[in-house]
Amino acid sequence: MSIIAHAYAGTSEADRPAQRAAVALAASSGSKLLSVHADDGSPGQSPPERASVVLAEWGRDPASVEHEVRIQGGGTDPVEVVLGLLERAEPDLVVMGTSQRRGSLRAMLESRAEAIAAHLAVPALIVPTEGRPLVDEKGAIQLRRVLVPAGDEAATRAALERVGWLVDLARAEDVQGELLHVAVGGELVPELTPPDHPRTTWSRRVRSGPLTAGIADEARRADVIVMATRGHDSVMDWIFGTHTERVLRKLDCPLLIVPMG
């Protein structure tokens, strides 16, 4: 059985879209759901909502998803605690929420999600708290359009390989994939062929302009963006964040981050 881990932020309302996405993906794929949380003693924290409650709300069998909760306190760094819990669990996918608001809530959710994702060896699905949800009010996964930005050839291929995996995980039908190249400075468009998948058809789009803004603009038509990252492999990345992180901060739809090596 595969495992979908939900890195819980500690407040049910702020983390609701990410939790709903994790429950729905576990239900569609027959995976076990594991909620992990670092209890740092902050006021207002509460345990994650049980998957059985969410499923009952959707009119589904409350027992159809096995759900385990692991909460660990006493650590000085919540990110390290969560990473330790995830390392021991060995999940196939990690789902986390992030906030696009300004202020302390955004800083906490955004920084923790980015820090955790940067150290994972498995894909991470980042779900904006205030953005367009991946799951509707009845628990149906909205996965009709997937956007893959094309740039570095190896990273783009790694992202493309995971699109079919995500479609299978969600049991989505008739998915439209779009390979997007934002041309900067007249660079050549890489010749890439997406892997064949029975329920996914592909198109290509080329546009010019700033890279991050161009991807974020095109993402308004997508349900999920898929990007691969090598993590922080340069000084500029550590100061300003990777391309993937900079895109994440401008999105209102979920982003699947695929680690490379």
DSSP for 135-186, please give it: B-TTS-B--SEEEEEE-SHHHHHHHHHHHHHHHHHHT--SEEEEEEEEE-TT
Same domain as 25, residue 90 = yes
Q: Does 139 map to a domain? A: no
pLDDT at residue 237, as a whole number: 42
pLDDT at residue 108, as a whole number: 42
Q: Quick one: residue 87, left, alpha or beta (phi over 0 = left, psi -120 to 50 = alpha)?
A: alpha
Residue indicated by tokens 């979908």: 4
Burial of 133 (0-12, 13-18, 19+ CB in 10 A): buried
Q: Quick check: 73 and 10 in contact, CB under 8 A?
A: no
Q: Please list the pLDDT of the chain residue by residue as tens digits (261 residues).
A: 799 999 987 776 668 899 999 999 999 999 999 999 988 777 777 788 899 999 999 999 999 999 999 988 866 788 888 899 999 999 999 999 887 544 333 344 446 777 788 888 999 999 988 778 899 999 999 999 999 988 778 888 999 999 999 999 999 999 999 998 877 665 555 678 899 999 999 998 888 777 777 777 888 889 999 988 765 444 334 333 455 555 666 678 898 989 886
**E-assigned strands of 81-123?**
93-98
Same domain as 162, residue 91 = no
Same domain as 45, residue 155 = no
Domain hosting 69: range is: 3-128
Residue 165 CB contacts under 8 Å (≥ 6 apart), including other chains: none
The angle at the Cα of 90, spanning 88 to 94, to the nearest 5 degrees, equals 115
Q: Is the entire prediction scored with pTM above 0.95? A: no
Domain finish residue from 64, 96, 128? 128
pLDDT at residue 102, as a whole number: 43
Domain finish residue from 74, 94, 128? 128
Same domain as 108, residue 61 = yes
Residue 76 CB contacts under 8 Å (≥ 6 apart), including other chains: none
Same domain as 89, residue 153 = no
Burial readout 93-125 (b: 16 or more C-beta within 10 A, e: otherwise) = bbbbbbbbeeeeebebbbebbbbbbbbbebbbb
pLDDT at residue 178, as a whole number: 93
CATH number for the domain harbouring residue 239 = 3.40.50.620
